[in-house]
């Protein structure tokens, strides 16, 4: 498994002058005085002056470089990263500041970074978020460029704290792993569909699971047929590539009771729309229609590495959506494994079809609580843009649990309604339901369709059509996939103590 970084982050409580690295990255708050940070003399008052004349305003993610004194300082360069007002320094802000600093350092060819923690009392979760952010900053999206890179790989990481405690070291290691598993998912989402076919996605999942000790089972087209998964088979019919259903299991030793978390990720390795074909403009983006599936594979990897205390099942239905000669056509009726019949009005609404069979199978395998992640609807992008994922969940307490974790992990989401009246838009004249409900409330009717397959279990659905892929490059997130939901899903497997009985 390629990792982007030397596999070790070190926590140090050495004094700043004694820290040896290529660059010292220091978050700077609005209210900071360089003197109080012990940086005034070492920067020959350049930082103080830059703050005074407001050349450097310490706005979030703003960067200011200056040399450090050669007199007693081991590190030559200082990168001050704006962190905004101290009161707004949440773990999410700290994570992004760390990513921004790491990316900027690497772009300058500096791969040995030392990052100074700025939270009150070296809060361990803040340190975890910083480690996540640094690791996210190690990601390179240019796998297929043949020219030499001019960015440095992240070679060495030190986290500078007031006191290097075990709690901090553990938090940093947790963050390092969560960041690495996010990058693993990003690499998958970045792969083109001619490389990452459903079979290849399954092979990569198997490889990852073997590395970390997860049980894994890949159902091929025959076993999918035996289970009568007519919705998944229906979508796969138009493609020359056979579908796969990836089944990953985390079974902590000795745990035979308690809840079983079921994680389901949409794994459409390319979505042409099928016979209801999409316009050419922007269609290349549909290689990332498996970002939800990548999120689940990455989360399962983290769950194993971090030894989550509960049982977890990860499911990824993987297929292409193509308009081949055998493709399903508008008006066709499919019967899913649950027995429900679906009139396919639009073959481009394929995600909900394959997820219907996968949600049913998660219940068959004993899942008690469900979360799915899917690049499901353009309508969700219209509703919430590219900043916030739609969260569709029931009952309320489960929605709250999932939302709290997503907020903490930096996967922005906002709750959307699931009033039963919306289901009327899916009513079919001829089958149990249609697969589309018209233009109004398009992301909600998609969620209502999924809900039909959840058997009344606590269930949460993230529509990440707008958020899985960043369209413009930001200081803390280059253009491309961001490893959506990996940290949220993995951490959820540690929260069962807070779940309602």
Residue-wise DSSP of 92-122: HHHHHHHHHHHHHHHHTT--EEEEE--SGGG
Q: Which helix (H) or strand (E) holds 12?
A: strand 9-12
**Judged by CB under 6 A, which stretch of 149-157, 236-244, 300-308, 371-379 contacts ligand BES?**
371-379
Phi, psi of 122, deg, nearest 5? 50, 55
Contact 320, 193 (CB under 8 A): yes
- One DSSP character per residue, 165-227 reads -HHHHHHHHHHHHHHHHHHHHHHHHHS-TTTS-HHHHHHHHHHHHHHHT-EEEEE-HHHHHHT
State the Cα–Cα distance between residues 296 and 205, nearest whole angstrom. 10
User: Collapsing DSSP states into helix, strand and coil, what is residue 354?
Assistant: helix
> Which of Zn ion, ligand BES, Mn ion, none does 377 bind, CB closer than 5 to 8 A by kind?
ligand BES
Q: Is 91 in the site for ligand BES (CB under 6 A)?
A: no
217 Rama class: left (phi>0) / alpha (psi -120 to 50) / beta = beta
Q: Is 377 in the site for ligand BES (CB under 6 A)?
A: yes
| Shortest Å distance, C-beta 342 to ligand BES | 13
Taking CB under 5 A as the rule, does residue 32 contact Mn ion?
Answer: no
Residue 428 burial class via C-beta count within 10 angstroms: exposed 0-12, middle 13-18, buried 19 and up: middle
Q: Which residue among 352, 363, 403, 487 is the active-site one? A: 352
Interatomic CA distance for residues 1 and 17, integer angstroms: 36
340 is catalytic: no
Cβ-proximal residue to Mn ion, closest one: 348
Candidates 465, 486, 490, 492: give the one binding ligand BES (CB under 6 A): 465
Report the SS3 class of residue 57: coil
Window 315 to 354, contacts with ligand BES (CB under 6 A): 346, 348-351
Which residues of the shown chain bind Zn ion in the complex (CB under 5 A)? Answer: 268, 271, 289, 351
What's the closest the beta carbon of residue 450 comes to ligand BES, in angstroms?
Answer: 13
Which range touches Mn ion (CB under 5 A), out of 209-217, 227-235, 263-271, 444-452? 263-271
Looking at 278, 386, 404, 408, which residue is catalytic?
A: 278
- Partner that binds at residue 27, options Zn ion, ligand BES, Mn ion, none, CB closer than 5 to 8 Å by kind: none
- Contact partner, 428, from Zn ion, ligand BES, Mn ion, none, Cβ < 5-8 Å per class: none
Cβ proximity to Zn ion: between 173 and 289 the closer is 289
Contact between 463 and Mn ion (CB under 5 A)?
A: no
Specify whether 352 is catalytic: yes
> Given the rule CB under 6 A, which of 4-12, 74-82, 146-154, 370-378 is the region that contacts ligand BES?
370-378
- Which residues from 283-302 bind ligand BES, rule CB under 6 A? 289
The nearest distance, CB 350 to Mn ion, in angstroms, is: 5
Q: Which residues are catalytic?
A: 278, 352
Q: Which residues contact Mn ion by CB under 5 A?
A: 271, 348, 350
């Amino acid at each position: 498994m390629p990792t982007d970084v030397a596999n070790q982050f070190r926590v140090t409580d050495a004094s700043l002058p004694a820290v040896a690295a290529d660059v010292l990255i220091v978050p700077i708050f609005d209210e900071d005085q360089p003197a109080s940070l012990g940086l005034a003399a070492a920067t020959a008052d350049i930082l103080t002056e830059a703050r005074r004349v407001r050349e450097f305003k310490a706005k979030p993610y703003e960067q200011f470089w200056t040399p450090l004194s050669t007199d007693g300082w081991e590190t030559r360069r200082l990168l001050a990263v704006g962190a905004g007002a101290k009161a707004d320094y949440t773990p999410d802000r700290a994570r992004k500041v760390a990513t921004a600093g790491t990316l900027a350092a690497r772009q300058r060819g500096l791969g040995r970074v030392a990052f100074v923690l700025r939270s009150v009392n070296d809060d361990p979760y803040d340190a975890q978020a910083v480690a996540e952010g640094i690791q996210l900053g190690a990601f390179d999206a240019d796998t297929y460029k043949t020219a030499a890179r001019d960015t440095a790989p992240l070679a060495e990481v030190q986290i500078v704290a007031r006191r290097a405690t075990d709690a901090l070291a553990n938090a940093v290691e947790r963050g390092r792993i969560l960041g690495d598993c996010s990058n693993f998912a990003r690499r998958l989402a970045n792969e083109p569909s001619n490389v990452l076919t459903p079979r290849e996605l399954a092979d990569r999942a198997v490889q990852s699971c073997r590395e970390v000790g997860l049980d894994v089972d890949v159902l091929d087209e025959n076993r999918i047929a035996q289970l009568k998964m007519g919705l998944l088979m229906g979508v796969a019919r138009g493609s020359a590539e056979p579908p796969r259903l990836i089944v990953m299991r985390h079974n902590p030793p000795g745990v035979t009771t308690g809840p079983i978390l079921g994680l389901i990720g949409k794994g459409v390795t390319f979505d042409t729309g099928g016979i209801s074909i999409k316009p050419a403009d922007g269609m290349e983006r549909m290689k990332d229609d498996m970002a939800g599936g990548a999120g689940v594979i990455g989360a399962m990897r983290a769950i194993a590495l971090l030894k989550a205390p509960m049982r977890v099942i990860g499911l990824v239905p993987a297929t292409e959506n193509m308009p081949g000669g055998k493709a399903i056509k508008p008006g066709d009726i499919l019967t899913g494994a649950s027995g429900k019949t679906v009139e396919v009005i639009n073959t481009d609404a394929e995600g909900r079809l394959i997820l219907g069979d996968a949600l049913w199978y998660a219940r068959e395998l004993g899942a008690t609580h469900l979360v799915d992640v899917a690049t499901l609807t353009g309508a969700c992008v219209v509703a919430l843009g590219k900043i916030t994922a739609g969260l569709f969940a029931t009952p309320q307490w489960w929605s709250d649990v999932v939302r709290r974790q997503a907020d903490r992990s930096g996967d922005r989401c906002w709750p959307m309604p699931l009033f039963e009246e919306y289901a009327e838009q899916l009513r079919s004249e001829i089958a149990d339901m249609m697969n589309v409900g018209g233009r109004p409330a398009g992301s909600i009717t998609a969620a209502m369709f999924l809900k039909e397959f959840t058997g009344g279990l606590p269930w949460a659905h993230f529509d990440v059509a707008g958020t899985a892929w960043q369209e413009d490059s930001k200081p803390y997130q280059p253009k491309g996939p961001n490893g959506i939901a990996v940290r949220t899903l993995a951490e959820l497997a540690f929260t069962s103590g807070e779940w309602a009985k």
